[in-house]
């Protein structure tokens, strides 16, 4: 009897207990512990923990969870590896997550498409962007920002393969979700490949939605170059070099990947990207605030957090961060400069000048700060003092366009026509299509106080480069410089606001108008 019972129990142990056993499905690929020596200790610890757990499950030394939980574990590990650019292992994790739980594959298909893009596997990436779009629709997801991101990157991936029709179709779907600058820009990039004339309109639409965006100015420069329109190409090239922000695409899933990097350095880097590259000030504030919780005495974090709040016109809060910076480093020229900008915004020009003078004393080689001081001096009617600072910049950086242009303005405003003409010729040789320089050139060559310094022919030559309304004002300069005051009055009368009408009526030469007033 005991022998029979023993065999019954033995059979049960070999058969009945295996009925609930969970096995890893065929096709799930093992991951390995990646090389981490170049990462900081916090990142190393997180990745080792995530990978070790999965490696133990793969080897059977850790209990196998139910497959849905294992899929989520692979997916989360993939995001962590993706965040730190360990692309080969993150790709395997995303593929495993999809295989283990296909019904919840929206996030994993989308992220897998991105890792495949980074590995230059564009055709495979397209497949997974399409899978992400189909899963989004099937689930009835209500995240339009995610859907637009899927369509935009799908279009951009098709474009990389020169699949223009598919690319345009995807960009237009992105536009249907939301009329964003980046979707218009995508359509423009498609048109640029074969029909640059048709690219202008979508690029202009993008620029209208995101004024001053460097990316779009560069694309317009390329389009006009292809069309042989050198004047417009040079204009957009100059706008591109003036700086500005890059086009920004809201992407909740990729943001969640980046959020896994929580070291001070990572948070600072994300804050800097949001602030300086994309102009996304709320995101920059969030990252800098988190970084300061870890490093409360970091002056650069206080400084950049203050700058982000300044850009949002939160002057009182910004001022506090700049003062925090000065408490740690009393000679921070950037903090002094930004406090000067706040003082100017509050119409306290005397305080602004004092702060900027201290900033220049703290960092005399910083051209940007010295130039800002010159701007305040010009606003205070101190052109002669501004000239001294601008000349110091030009001595070190002769092709500094903003400083050179402001120096010319100050010299003209100070009736130093001969010297201004020398700098005008230098600047126009370097920047021949610049409208502001051409405008000052018409004034400088046509209206010099001493007739011997006037060069009407040169002024007329520069006049032909101008667009309205600057062209109308400059025509008044030309007539007045030739003593044709009646004609100058007629021209000036066409303007809604006239600075020189009364002077022309009295047969007096005009005063200079700053180009920014138009």
pLDDT of residue 13: 38
Span 96-109, average pLDDT:
94
Rounded mean pLDDT, 469-481: 92
CB 3 within 8 A of CB 11: no
Q: How confident is the model at residue 469 (pLDDT cuts 50, 70, 90)?
A: confident
In contact, 55 and 32? CB cutoff 8 Å = yes
Number of domains present in the structure of the chain: 2
Mean model confidence pLDDT for the chain = 91
Query: Which residue in the block uniquely carries the two structure tokens 């001493």?
Result: 450
Q: Which percentage of the chain shows pLDDT scores above 90? A: 80
Q: Is the pLDDT of residue 4 over 80?
A: no
Q: What is the pLDDT of residue 410?
A: 94
- The answer on pLDDT for 7 being more than 50 is no
HEC states along 322-371? HHHHHHHCCCCHHHHHHHHHHHHHCCCHHHHHHHHHHHHHHCCCCHHHHH
In this prediction, residues 168-176 reach a mean pLDDT of 97
Averaged pLDDT, 23-52 = 91
| Domain contains 316 | yes
| Dist CA 268 CA 248 (whole Å) | 18
From its phi and psi, is residue 213 left (phi > 0), alpha (psi between -120 and 50) or beta? Answer: beta
Per-residue pLDDT tens for 87-97?
A: 999 999 999 99
Structural domain containing residue 350: 261-358
Which of 270, 325, 323, 318 lies closest to 296 in space, CA to CA?
A: 325
Tell me what the mean pLDDT of segment 27-52 comes to.
Answer: 93
Whether 348 maps to a domain, the answer reads yes
Evaluate if residue 17 carries a pLDDT over 60. Answer: no
Give the domain-ending residue among 358, 392, 411.
Answer: 358
More confident residue, 1 or 497: 497
Question: Which tokens sit at 298?
Answer: 């970091």
Exposed/middle/buried for residue 4 (C-beta within 10 Å: 0-12, 13-18, 19+): exposed
pLDDT confidence band for 316 (50 / 70 / 90): very high
Residue 93 tokens read as 């994790």
Chain segment 280-306, per-residue pLDDT in tens: 999 999 999 999 999 999 999 999 999
**Burial (CB count <10 Å: 0-12, 13-18, 19+), residue 369:** buried
Residue 303 pLDDT: 97
Domain boundary among 336, 358, 380: 358
The CA-based angle 158-159-162, given to 5 degrees, is 95
Name the nearest CA neighbour of 207 among 228, 226, 229, 224.
Answer: 224
* Out of 93-97, 462-466, 513-517, least confident range: 513-517
Please state, in angstroms and rounded to a whole number, the distance separating the CA atoms of residues 189 and 200: 10
Question: What is the three-state SS of 189-200?
Answer: HHHHHHCHHHHH
Burial of 23 (0-12, 13-18, 19+ CB in 10 A): exposed
Residue 340 belongs to a domain with what CATH number?
Answer: 1.25.40.10
114 within a domain of the structure (yes/no): no
What distance in Å separates the CA atoms of residue 38 and residue 53, rounded to the nearest whole number? 22
User: Is position 341 within any domain?
Assistant: yes
Report the alpha-carbon distance of residue 39 to residue 428 in Å, rounded. Answer: 49
Does residue 295 fall inside a structural domain?
yes
Average pLDDT over residues 238-259: 89
Question: pLDDT (tens digit, 9 = 90+) per residue, 379-436?
Answer: 898 999 999 999 999 999 999 999 999 999 999 999 999 999 999 999 999 998 889 9
pLDDT at residue 176 above 90?
Answer: yes
Domain boundary among 358, 373, 389: 358
As a whole number, mean pLDDT of residues 300-329 equals 96
Check: CB of residue 501 under 8 Å from CB of residue 513.
no
Q: Tell me whether the omega of the peptide bond preceding residue 508 falls within 30 degrees of 0, making it cis.
A: no
Task: Report yes or no on 81 lying in a domain.
Answer: no
pLDDT at position 22: 61
Tell me if 460 is assigned to some domain. Answer: yes
Res. 5 pLDDT band, cuts 50 70 90: very low
In a domain, 98, yes or no: no
The alpha carbons of the chain give a radius of gyration, in whole angstroms, of 32
The model's pTM is 0.81
- The confidence score (pLDDT) of residue 118 equals 96
Question: Does one domain contain both 437 and 354?
Answer: no
**pLDDT over 80 at 233, yes or no:** yes
């Amino acid at each position: 009897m005991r022998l029979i019972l023993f065999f019954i129990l033995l059979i049960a142990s070999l058969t009945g207990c295996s009925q609930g056993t969970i096995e890893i499905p065929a096709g799930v690929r093992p991951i390995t512990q990646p090389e981490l020596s170049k990462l900081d200790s916090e990142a190393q610890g997180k990745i080792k923990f995530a990978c070790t757990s999965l490696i133990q499950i793969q080897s059977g030394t850790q209990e196998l969870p139910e497959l849905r939980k294992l899929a989520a574990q692979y997916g989360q590990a993939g995001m962590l590896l993706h965040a730190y650019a360990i692309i080969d292992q993150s790709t395997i994790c995303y593929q495993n997550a999809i295989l283990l739980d296909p019904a919840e594959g929206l996030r994993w298909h989308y992220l897998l498409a991105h890792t495949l893009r980074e590995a230059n596997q564009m055709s495979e990436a397209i497949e997974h962007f399409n899978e992400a779009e189909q899963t989004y629709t099937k689930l009835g997801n209500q995240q339009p920002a995610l859907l637009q991101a899927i369509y935009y990157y799908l279009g951009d991936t098709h474009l990389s393969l020169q699949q223009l029709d598919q690319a345009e179709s995807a960009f237009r779907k992105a536009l249907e979700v939301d009329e964003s600058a980046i979707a218009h820009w995508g359509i423009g990039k498609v048109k640029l490949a074969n029909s640059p004339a048709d690219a202008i309109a979508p690029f202009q639409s993008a620029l209208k939605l995101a004024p001053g965006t460097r990316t779009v100015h560069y694309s317009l420069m390329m389009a006009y170059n292809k069309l042989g329109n050198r004047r417009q190409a040079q204009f957009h090239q100059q706008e591109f070099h003036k700086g500005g922000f890059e086009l920004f695409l809201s992407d909740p899933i990729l943001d969640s990947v980046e959020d896994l990097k929580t070291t001070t350095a990572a948070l600072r880097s994300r804050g800097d990207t949001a602030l300086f590259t994309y102009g996304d000030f709320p995101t920059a504030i969030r990252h800098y605030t988190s970084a300061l919780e870890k490093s409360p005495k970091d002056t650069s974090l206080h400084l950049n957090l203050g700058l982000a709040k300044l850009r949002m016109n939160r002057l009182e809060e910004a001022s506090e961060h700049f003062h925090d910076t000065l408490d740690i480093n009393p000679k921070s020229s950037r903090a002094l400069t930004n406090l000067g900008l706040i003082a100017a915004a509050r119409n306290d020009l005397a305080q602004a000048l004092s702060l900027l003078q201290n900033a220049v004393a703290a960092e005399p080689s910083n051209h940007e700060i010295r130039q800002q001081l010159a701007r305040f001096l010009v606003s205070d009617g101190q052109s002669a003092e501004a000239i001294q600072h601008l000349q110091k910049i030009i001595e070190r950086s002769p092709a500094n366009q903003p400083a050179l242009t402001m120096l010319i303005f100050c010299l003209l405003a100070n009736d130093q026509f001969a010297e201004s003409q020398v700098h005008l010729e230098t600047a126009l040789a370097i920047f021949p299509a610049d409208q502001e320089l051409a405008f000052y050139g018409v004034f400088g060559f046509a209206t010099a106080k001493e007739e011997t310094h006037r060069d009407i022919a040169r002024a007329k030559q520069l006049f032909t480069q101008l667009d309205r309304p600057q062209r109308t004002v400059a025509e008044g300069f030309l007539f007045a410089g030739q003593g044709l005051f009646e004609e100058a009055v007629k021209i000036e009368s066409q303007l809604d606001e006239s600075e020189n009408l009364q002077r022309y009526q009295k047969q007096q030469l005009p005063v200079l108008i700053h180009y920014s007033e138009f």
